[in-house]
Structure 1
């Protein structure tokens, strides 16, 4: 936003004149300008500016500080050693600075009267779509690229004009008291313009949808590939260029032939019909006001006269209540929590204040619990956690199945070791002393069974973590299938 500081600065008019001089030189293919060059251009284009090189120098420096202009050193302008030591600077538009200047210039030069619907763009769009299908069938990549550029430009202009037109029309409809004579003078042309556009839109919409279908039948993917190959935006990769063309083509298709029935052309036609009805309603109101001689302005003037002629202040208040429909303030009937201390028949003027809810004071309705708040669910996070859980279960099941082959002569992996330790924990926890001995116990993990039985020798299990010694215990691991054991 610092780039737009020149539009609100104290010397904003001088900054704008200097930038216009750069834009004027840019149209003549001159990029680098010195303060003296800017003064010469302003002397020709804006003689009333009265800016000399000494005044323009600080302006250029400030524009450079804001980032609108780029500065470089030009020693060729020095005619003497003193001038060379003083260092001459030349300036040019920065890439983003030029866009900032154009944005301000477009706002300054904008005219509401220029708003109009682009009716003549419809046949051009139809012709370009037919040419695009033919170029795609012929495999002419350059022609496909040029035609897509024309289609995008025409559709962008059409959408911008439509948005501008309906915005201006909405302001006109809301401003009922602004120049009714001017509105009556142009109402026929306005209605004819909207009706002709609506008629052409209804006539060309099916043809444009059919033309888009013909383009898609010629091969959409091949068309996008050819357009990306001929695109000259070297700072974008081919994949980025193709993705950009695909997004723009999807937007064009959505404009004229959306599959879900929400095409923008249908909304535009509906908006035009609503705008015609609004203009007719405004025309009726303006015509009635001119016929009766009563408008909103005259009504307010008469009302102001009645207020000024009111004999008393109470009469003025009564007139205000009758005109604007505002009655006396609402009184709330509410008992004090301690009815014995503050009886109900006591006047509110004498009784101490009672705390009431804000809802009751603002709306006159007693506060209610209201609808429950919306429960925010993180579905994506739940899916990720569920996927992790399923993956862990799957790996544990595979480890249990691999462990069913036994533990002798093997080095167990991480998952198998975890399963073995969980089985050992379950088996050891179930051991119960019986007659001075520990009977055989069993631990289960899904369909894998681990049996611990007393034995004269110890069992050694090798895992990735090390060697596990089970003193005086024999370990048997088996996997039981449905209907039997293995």
Structure 2
């Protein structure tokens, strides 16, 4: 059957589903469920007497006779739920042979319908799960495809089935699980105290899946984009050849039709991880939906906690916090405590962009000059018309700011000269570092990791190349305020013409 004939079936009725809404639906469903259970036990052909005895053994029908069962079997045969054949093998007389005695078997459509109904009976909610191991498994399958030059008989088909099953399981389970978090029942639970008990577990579960998406999704996208199409074409051709070797009594299709189907399925798989020219990949949408679910969990948990704090005096907590600020002697420590306690302040008014004292993108807000805005009085007593204000002399402030900027720039240049003089170094070879050195180092590592070539150029005329450790070695960098554990990268620096 070609693709056009398959599409034409979409517009036609399905007589096999008539029994689900017929007048005697209870009798029809019990008969076909008995056939389905025997089909699962590899018993395919049944006589009317066997069907009648099996249905009556469940005790769900009253006033049901063998003649009625025979008529129901004929109706199901007419609706293409059953196929029949004459059973004359044990006839001892001509009359007995001519008497209508049939055996019945389920059709493939009805088997799938009953299988679907069996699955629907066991559904409780959306179900689903978030399994980053499926992404790791898909990455392993794709690497095997790329690294296998020739395929043995049956190997490509088995790998294709494993890949499609894992991909389908990942997509369906993730969609179902995230949908279950958006139901009314889930939202009602999030408003109760019981939600706080497993909030951390649920959030940790979602975050692990996001980490898996970021770790394996990017690798899958890179392999699919960087590998030549001839590799995937050879794999699909091996799959089609393996399928052609399998004998089938059903309606056969040509190898060209098989190849068209496999290409379409492969195109869907690739687009799911790489996207197209107009939209990002489904991995991005899935990661965004998972992050939105995490934010929703935290929002509901915070609302529950604030509800029970409402009306409670926080005088003691504020007094303790004030004493803590008072005991600090260093402004930097006060900045850290303030950031941890209050977070980002909510901006209420935007009054333009202040004058920049430096073009450096790495300059902290604490190193910038303050932006002073004069607030006009709301008093009804207006300033006299024509009154002028004196021009303020800001030369001293500018001189101090210039000296501070030049001193900071000299310190930065000293750091750069030291590392450029080394030429190359590993993270494990570095001694105790300052906060400014850490800022440069992490900035360069982040930009190199974001580059596909692991190489960048700075506006100062530095070319920086990053080499990842081969065996996953780790290093610990010691700073003024703590220790950072990271891979033992090796960094190469050299001076080139400034951009």
| Pairing 1:62-141 to 2, within 5 Å after superposition | 62-78=75-91, 81-112=94-125, 114-135=127-148, 137-140=149-152
Query: Is there any run of 5+ residues in structure 2 with no aligned partner, and where?
Result: 1-13, 311-499
Distance change >3 Å, CA 171–CA 40, structure 1 → 2: same
Query: Is there any run of 5+ residues in structure 1 with no aligned partner, and where?
Result: 293-486
**Deviation at residue 160 of structure 1 after TM alignment:** 1.2
Of 262, 284, 296, the residue aligned with 1:266 is 284
| Pairing 1:282-297 to 2, within 5 Å after superposition | 282-285=300-303
Q: Tell me the distance in 2 between the aligned counterparts of 1:290 and 1:12.
A: 54
Q: What corresponds to 1:279 in structure 2?
A: 297
Contact between 1:3 and 1:97, CA under 8 Å: does it hold in 2? yes
Contact between 1:173 and 1:282, CA under 8 Å: does it hold in 2? no
Q: Tell me the distance in 1 between the aligned counterparts of 2:28 and 2:192.
A: 39
Distance change >3 Å, CA 269–CA 57, structure 1 → 2: same
Contact between 2:203 and 2:294, CA under 8 Å: does it hold in 1? yes
Of 42, 46, 59, the residue aligned with 1:29 is 42
Of 161, 165, 190, the residue aligned with 2:173 is 161
**Deviation at residue 240 of structure 1 after TM alignment:** 0.7
User: Could you state the TM-score of these two structures normalised by the residue count of structure 1?
Assistant: 0.53
Corresponding residue SS for 2:155: helix
Contact between 1:68 and 1:100, CA under 8 Å: does it hold in 2? no
Q: What corresponds to 2:429 in structure 1?
A: none
Distance change >3 Å, CA 178–CA 202, structure 1 → 2: closer
Q: Tell me the distance in 2 between the aligned counterparts of 1:60 and 1:287.
A: 63
The answer to whether 1:197 aligns with 2:209 is yes
Contact between 2:127 and 2:180, CA under 8 Å: does it hold in 1? no
**Could you give the per-residue CA deviations for residues 351-393 of structure 1, whole angstroms, max 9, x where no partner exists?**
xxxxxxxxxxxxxxxxxxxxxxxxxxxxxxxxxxxxxxxxxxx
Of 19, 26, 43, the residue aligned with 1:6 is 19
Q: Name the Cα RMSD after superposition.
A: 3.3
Q: What corresponds to 1:240 in structure 2?
A: 257
Contact between 1:31 and 1:92, CA under 8 Å: does it hold in 2? yes
**Could you give the per-residue CA deviations for residues 48-104 of structure 1, whole angstroms, max 9, x where no partner exists?**
667774553333222223222222222225465554333112211222232333333
Corresponding residue SS for 1:70: strand
Distance change >3 Å, CA 218–CA 168, structure 1 → 2: same
Of 251, 266, 286, the residue aligned with 2:268 is 251
Q: Tell me the distance in 1 between the aligned counterparts of 2:31 and 2:194.
A: 38
**Deviation at residue 246 of structure 1 after TM alignment:** 0.9
Contact between 2:217 and 2:283, CA under 8 Å: does it hold in 1? yes
Distance change >3 Å, CA 177–CA 37, structure 1 → 2: same
Distance change >3 Å, CA 174–CA 185, structure 1 → 2: closer
Q: Which has the larger radius of gyration?
A: 1
| Corresponding residue pairs, total | 291
**Deviation at residue 111 of structure 1 after TM alignment:** 2.4
Q: Tell me the distance in 1 between the aligned counterparts of 2:190 and 2:49.
A: 48
Distance change >3 Å, CA 96–CA 149, structure 1 → 2: same
Q: Tell me the distance in 2 between the aligned counterparts of 1:128 and 1:223.
A: 12
Contact between 2:127 and 2:173, CA under 8 Å: does it hold in 1? no
Q: Tell me the distance in 2 between the aligned counterparts of 1:133 and 1:247.
A: 19
Q: Tell me the distance in 2 between the aligned counterparts of 1:130 and 1:158.
A: 18
Of 145, 150, 153, the residue aligned with 2:162 is 150
Distance change >3 Å, CA 215–CA 152, structure 1 → 2: farther
Distance change >3 Å, CA 61–CA 109, structure 1 → 2: farther
Distance change >3 Å, CA 284–CA 57, structure 1 → 2: farther
**Deviation at residue 179 of structure 1 after TM alignment:** 8.8
Corresponding residue SS for 2:105: strand
**Could you give the per-residue CA deviations for residues 170-214 of structure 1, whole angstroms, max 9, x where no partner exists?**
114774379946655544443232121111111111222244356
**Could you give the per-residue CA deviations for residues 241-271 of structure 1, whole angstroms, max 9, x where no partner exists?**
1111111111111122235361111111111
**Deviation at residue 155 of structure 1 after TM alignment:** 0.6
Corresponding residue SS for 1:30: coil
**Could you give the per-residue CA deviations for residues 281-333 of structure 1, whole angstroms, max 9, x where no partner exists?**
344455667888xxxxxxxxxxxxxxxxxxxxxxxxxxxxxxxxxxxxxxxxx
Corresponding residue SS for 1:75: coil
Q: Tell me the distance in 2 between the aligned counterparts of 1:148 and 1:12.
A: 41
Corresponding residue SS for 2:174: helix
